[in-house]
Structure 1
Amino acid sequence: MASSCGLMGDDDKPVKIHHLVKAPENTPESIASRESWDASKPVTVYKTPENLPDGTPCTAATVILRTKGCVWWWKSGCTFCGYFNDVRDDVTAEDMFSQWEEAKRVTSDFRDCKMVKVYTSGTFFEDRENPPEWQEHVLRETYEMGLHLVVEAQAQMCTPEKLEWVAERHPGCTVAIGLEAYDNTVLRFHANKGFSLKQWHKAVEILRDNSLRVKTYLLFKPPFMSEGDALEHTISWVSEVSKISDEVSINPMNIQRGTIVDRLFRNREYRPPWLWSLVEMIIRTHDDVSKTDCRVIVHPTAGGKARGSHNCGSCDSEVVAAIERYSVSG
């Protein structure tokens, strides 16, 4: 079995690790449920407080689109990512344009927004995932509207040719890469990311060469790691990646349906991180990060809930609010 498992990183064609543990997203019922979603409507659109690259407070629109999903998910998949729950295999270019128009409609053409985050459950500028003509339309339109654009990508998808193409259409936009861990062992065996630190460094170099902004995601408490180790590792990782990133977003693990981590959680083999661990991490990294030009963001998705970072319940809402205030002000 191990010889065919994408988690092990062998040369054989990988099998989705989710298949090997019979994760529920592969059942006929789950597939039918995903395919019942309207492919012409985005998953969700909402607004949040944000900061522009120069530190100016603003309102940002977040648009999560229903796409075909991630190329890496098609091959194997990360242990913690449940974005496949929102994808459809049959999404067309016409659907993508319809979703974008719907996002503009519900936000009145992003009225009062200075930033828009466009998330595609994969790499925005990967042609196998999203139609090139749609990519170009979004890049050009958001630039013409004066909106700072944030998109996501996997490190191995950041080629010189593609990033030059992106920079020509939306100069200075932000590309967020889910590095998750500054450690090749964790990338391979804990997260199953599908790329190495060398590839991430190369991606950062190419982004810099094209004057694009670098945002790096780190994952607090990957699976198969203790709380104490997660705290110490993350402090070290923040120190390393903040040196060459414009922003570092630390994402405490939240349990997403149908993932390897979900299976561990349901078997009581994994607990999301304590909020106090996040506070300790912020305290211990703040001085070093404040000496750089990098902004650190900590956003506890589902904070205070069983499937997100939480304490005992008595003070969770106050601690989550304090962490969120730090992220917006920091």
Structure 2
Amino acid sequence: MKLDENKQKYECLAEEIEGLRKHTLKNRTPYSDDKLGKPLAFWTKQERLLDKVGKELTIILRTKGCYWALEHGGCSMCGYIEDANIQNVPSEQIIHQFDYAVQNKITEIREDSNDYVLKIFNSGSFFDDSEINKQTREHIYKKVAEIPQITEFIVESRIEFITEDNLMEMKKYLPDICIEIGIGLESVDDHIRNKYINKGLTFEDFLSTKELCDLNDVGIKAYLLFKPPFLNEQASIDDCIHSIKTLIDLGIESISINPCNVQKNSFVEYLWYQNRYRPPWYYSLFECFKKALNSSTLQKTRILCDPSGAGTKRGIHNCLRKECNEKMREILSQFILSQDLEILNEIEYDCICYSRYNLQKDHL
């Protein structure tokens, strides 16, 4: 049947994403008890804190997974549900996962002179009781409060689960730690966010959540998706510039730019296999930063960017020359750690692919 109305087309897209997700998950089996007793991953590394360079401890917990992905197919670029258990994970096992990671890193942290940010990811929503219940969250808060080196604490959640009770509970246990909640806004444009990404979130609802967080002295780390499906390079640059400027004007504490990467069993992967999607170029990302930011805005808003799959066909890349992508990755890292825009202004683009990029930018 021919679809004449845009509304029908986008409803069809959402249905296709949901159908694809059901197909990829139908034969999934839960993880063994042994795997559920340990986190999916954890690590420490250098990171930009709010006002200086420090370290991060990142812990990725195995949980049931994002309800939006399980019930509605999820976002078009996201494949994180593939790492989830799909079925409920007992709170005792999630607590053991967290404790296992902390115990493995606590000596390193206590002997380090750096301050740390603790990031807890669970491929879903930290405040969703079906993933991480209240008792488990309280256990995590109490453990965090015992580690003075942790000065910043970041979790992620869809806004449906960000309630005043959840915020007050977190602040009760962590009154002296800077808390941020990561929210996948992706774009300030409702059309791009909901029709191309299938986010199920309005900008108006995001603003209401920001107001609630402000009232409870909790910051927001807004995630922006750089180059969603169906946007070319130039349109992606324009959208990201507009989104960054809008969020800075709103007083958002941290903005994390996430260049889209091709994740397994995502709708973006489906497009990628058909040569209908190409991950963004580093050149586009740097142009976006240079046009959206200045030294004044960088004093009040932290810009973060740590691309997954960088330098590969599935992640942000220029050409596939290792030297070209390694140079870009190092420049990006220096900029994020220093928050110094001059690092980007002084780049010399000496790879032959820069000419090809400029010729094709409006069509990629």
The letter of the residue matching 1:129 is E
The answer to whether 1:106 aligns with 2:104 is yes
Helix, strand or coil at the partner of 1:311: coil
Given that residues 23 and 263 in structure 1 are in contact (C-alpha distance below 8 angstroms), is that contact kept between their aligned partners in structure 2?
no
Given that residues 124 and 156 in structure 2 are in contact (C-alpha distance below 8 angstroms), is that contact kept between their aligned partners in structure 1?
yes
Larger Rg: 2
Report the CA distance shift for 1:71/1:22 in structure 2 as closer, same or farther (over 3 A): closer
Q: CA RMSD in A?
A: 2.5
Distance 2:106 2:183 in 1: 29
2:118 corresponding residue in structure 1: 116
Distance 1:285 1:326 in 2: 14
2:133 corresponding residue in structure 1: 131
2:303 corresponding residue in structure 1: 296
Deviation at 1:167, TM superposition (A): 1.8
Selected match of 1:284 from 287, 291, 295? 291
Helix, strand or coil at the partner of 1:123: coil
The letter of the residue matching 2:337 is V
The answer to whether 1:161 aligns with 2:165 is yes
Selected match of 1:71 from 54, 62, 67? 67
The letter of the residue matching 2:192 is V
Distance 1:316 1:67 in 2: 34
Distance 1:48 1:123 in 2: 24
Selected match of 1:329 from 308, 313, 338? 338
The letter of the residue matching 1:328 is L
Percent sequence identity over matched residues? 28
Greater Cα shift, 282-291 or 55-64: 282-291
Deviation at 1:97, TM superposition (A): 1.0
Deviation at 1:83, TM superposition (A): 1.0
The answer to whether 1:43 aligns with 2:40 is yes
Given that residues 47 and 60 in structure 1 are in contact (C-alpha distance below 8 angstroms), is that contact kept between their aligned partners in structure 2?
yes
Deviation at 1:326, TM superposition (A): 0.6
Deviation at 1:20, TM superposition (A): 2.3
Distance 2:334 2:56 in 1: 16
Paired residues for 1:219-258 under 5 Å? 219-243=225-249, 244-258=251-265
2:346 corresponding residue in structure 1: none
Given that residues 125 and 156 in structure 2 are in contact (C-alpha distance below 8 angstroms), is that contact kept between their aligned partners in structure 1?
yes
Report the CA distance shift for 1:9/1:204 in structure 2 as closer, same or farther (over 3 A): farther
What stretches of structure 2 of length at least 5 have no aligned partner? 340-364
Deviation at 1:52, TM superposition (A): 2.8
What stretches of structure 1 of length at least 5 have no aligned partner? none
The answer to whether 1:309 aligns with 2:316 is yes
The 4+ residue runs of structure 1 with deviation greater than 6 A are none
Report the CA distance shift for 1:291/1:255 in structure 2 as closer, same or farther (over 3 A): closer
1:179 corresponding residue in structure 2: 185
Query: Could you state the TM-score of these two structures normalised by the residue count of structure 1?
Result: 0.90
Given that residues 156 and 199 in structure 1 are in contact (C-alpha distance below 8 angstroms), is that contact kept between their aligned partners in structure 2?
no
2:353 corresponding residue in structure 1: none
Distance 1:305 1:105 in 2: 34
Deviation at 1:38, TM superposition (A): 1.0
Query: Could you state the TM-score of these two structures normalised by the residue count of structure 2?
Result: 0.82
CA displacement 1:184-225 (0-9 Å, x = unmatched): 111111111111101111111111111112111000001111
CA displacement 1:111-137 (0-9 Å, x = unmatched): 236221011111112212212111111
